[in-house]
Chains A and B, each alone.
Chain A
Amino acid sequence: MPSEKDADYLALAARHRPPAPTWSNAVRAFAIGGAICMVGQLVTDFFIAHGNSPGQAASPTAVVMVGLGALFTGLGLYDRVVKCGGMGGSLPISGFSNAMVAPAMEYRREGWVLGVGAKLFAVAGPVLAYGLGAAFVVGLARLLVGS
Chain B
Amino acid sequence: MWTGLLIAFVVGGLLCVLAQLVVDVGHITAAHVMVLFVVLGALAGGLGWYGPLVKWAGAGATVPLPGFGYTMVEGIDRATKTEGVLGLLTGGLTAAAGGIKAAVLFSLAAALVFTPRS
Query: Which of A59, A95, A141, A143 is close to B99, meaning CB atoms less than 8 Å apart?
Result: A59
Nearest residue in A to B22 (C-beta to C-beta)? A87
Nearest residue in A to B97 (C-beta to C-beta)? A59
Q: Tell whether, in the assembled complex, residue A22 and residue B92 are in contact, meaning their CB atoms are under 8 Å apart.
A: no
Q: Please classify the interface of chain A as helix (H, G, I), strand (E, B), loop, or mixed, using the class held by over half of its residues.
A: helix
Select the residue from B4, B14, B62, B104 with max chain A CB neighbours within 10 A: B62
Q: Tell whether, in the assembled complex, residue B12 and residue A101 are in contact, meaning their CB atoms are under 8 Å apart.
A: no
Chain B 34-66: CB-based contact to A (< 8 A → 1; otherwise 0) = 110111011101100000001100111011110
Q: Tell whether, in the assembled complex, residue B13 and residue A30 are in contact, meaning their CB atoms are under 8 Å apart.
A: yes
Inter-chain CB contacts under 8 Å: number: 276
Q: Tell whether, in the assembled complex, residue A32 and residue B8 are in contact, meaning their CB atoms are under 8 Å apart.
A: no
Contacts of B24 in A (CB 8 A): 20, 22, 25-26
Chain B residue total in the interface (Cβ 8 A) = 78
Q: Tell whether, in the assembled complex, residue B39 and residue A134 are in contact, meaning their CB atoms are under 8 Å apart.
A: yes
How many Å lie between the Cα of A30 and that of B55 in the bound state?
21
Contacts of B102 in A (CB 8 A): 62-63, 66-67, 70, 97
Contacts of A101 in B (CB 8 A): 103, 106-107, 110-111
Least CB distance, B84 to chain A, in whole angstroms: 9
B115 within 8 A of A: yes
Contacts of B111 in A (CB 8 A): 101, 104-105, 108, 112, 116, 120
Q: Tell whether, in the assembled complex, residue A131 and residue B55 are in contact, meaning their CB atoms are under 8 Å apart.
A: no
**Shortest Cβ-Cβ A-B pairs, 10 listed:** A37-B12, A33-B16, A34-B13, A40-B59, A138-B46, A70-B106, A139-B76, A135-B72, A41-B8, A87-B19
Contacts of A87 in B (CB 8 A): 16-17, 19-20, 23, 30, 33
Q: Tell whether, in the assembled complex, residue A26 and residue B20 are in contact, meaning their CB atoms are under 8 Å apart.
A: yes
Query: Which of A35, A62, A126 is close to B31, meaning CB atoms less than 8 Å apart?
Result: A126
Chain B 78-118: CB-based contact to A (< 8 A → 1; otherwise 0) = 00100001011101110110111011101111110111111
Extra A-B contacts (11), CB below 8 Å, given A54-B58, A74-B110, A92-B64: A22-B25, A34-B8, A54-B55, A62-B71, A70-B106, A100-B103, A100-B107, A105-B114, A120-B108, A139-B77, A143-B88
